[in-house]
Amino acid sequence: MTDKVRDQDKTHFGYKDVKPDEKEKMVAGVFHSVADSYDVMNDLMSMGVHRLWKRFTIELSAVRKGHQVLDIAGGTGDLTKQFSRLVGDTGRVVLADINESMLRVGRDRLIDQGIVGNVEYVQANAECLPFPENTFDCITIAFGLRNVTDKAEALRSMCRVLKPGGRLLVLEFSKTNNPLLTKVYDTYSFSLLPAMGKLVAGDSESYRYLAESIRKHPDQKTLEAMMKEAGFVNTTYHNMTGGIVALHKGIKP
């Protein structure tokens, strides 16, 4: 067996090499574990800054009344809530997540906040989205792409279901080129983050995986190239918080 074939038989779960069909189950286990404490941990982990990152994503989406929006890996519904208000009664927002626990928490949270009528909930794998071609005006995936087994296939799937002229926004942890910031960030990620996970969610290993998954995610230039390969044009990215997070944009021609 060649090295190329062996590589195709493996993917990464954090720093571990696993079979592709095993990764989906392992990632599911992580998010089943953290679903109920996800919002609290997001605020603690980012010191609330994740709200500013998401606000910029909403601003760059150009979503307006009547639009069809797909929020992939929508989790507890932060983006879906804002999109629901923007698209109005004539639009539609689909909150999609592969994880049943995250989808349940997001649905319950939005219903409790009175977000009903123009929001749908779909359990779906980003690699094979169950929607017709040319359906959505905008697709977002926030802090979810790094958990996808086949990222290239997921990007192609997103391009397929976007309308021509529609835009994809990928908000994800990325790479900083500042050595001092990198050192501080690494210490925080591998020491403080698992400790917080243990204290708040009773689960340090899931948050250790999340830190490792960030390090294994493609950097800004690599992800931009992957988006172009998937069929997107006019690709750009915006670094935030020193490059710890980047917002990528691509347009379907």
pLDDT in tens, the chain (253 residues): 333 333 457 787 666 676 877 777 666 666 666 666 666 666 667 777 888 999 999 999 999 999 999 999 998 899 999 999 999 999 999 999 999 988 999 999 999 999 999 999 999 999 999 999 999 999 999 999 999 999 999 999 999 999 999 999 999 999 998 989 988 888 888 887 778 777 766 777 877 887 888 888 999 999 999 999 999 999 999 999 999 999 999 999 9
Q: Got the DSSP string for 56-116? A: HHHHHH---TT-EEEEET-TT-HHHHHHHHHH-TT-EEEEEES-HHHHHHHHHHHHHTT--
Q: Is residue 51 in a domain? A: yes
Q: How far apart are CA 37 and CA 41, in angstroms?
A: 6
With CA atoms as reference, report the closest residue to 27 among 170, 145, 194: 145
- Is residue 246 within 8 A of residue 172, CB to CB? The reply is yes
Cβ burial, residue 60 (10 Å; 0-12/13-18/19+): middle
* Residue 200, in any domain of the structure: no
Judge if pTM exceeds 0.85: yes
Q: Is residue 216 part of a domain?
A: yes
Number of domains making up the chain: 1
**Is 222 part of any domain?**
yes
In a domain, 146, yes or no: yes
Q: Tell me if 57 is assigned to a ligand binding site.
A: no
**Domain contains 189:** no
Q: List Cα–Cα distances, 17 to 110, 149, 164, in angstroms.
A: 37, 12, 37
Q: Domain of residue 41: give its range.
A: 6-177+209-251
Is 97 marked as a binding-site residue?
yes
- 28 labelled ligand-binding: no
* Residue 203 counted as domain residue: no
73 is in an annotated binding site: no
Supply the CATH number for residue 233's domain.
Answer: 3.40.50.150
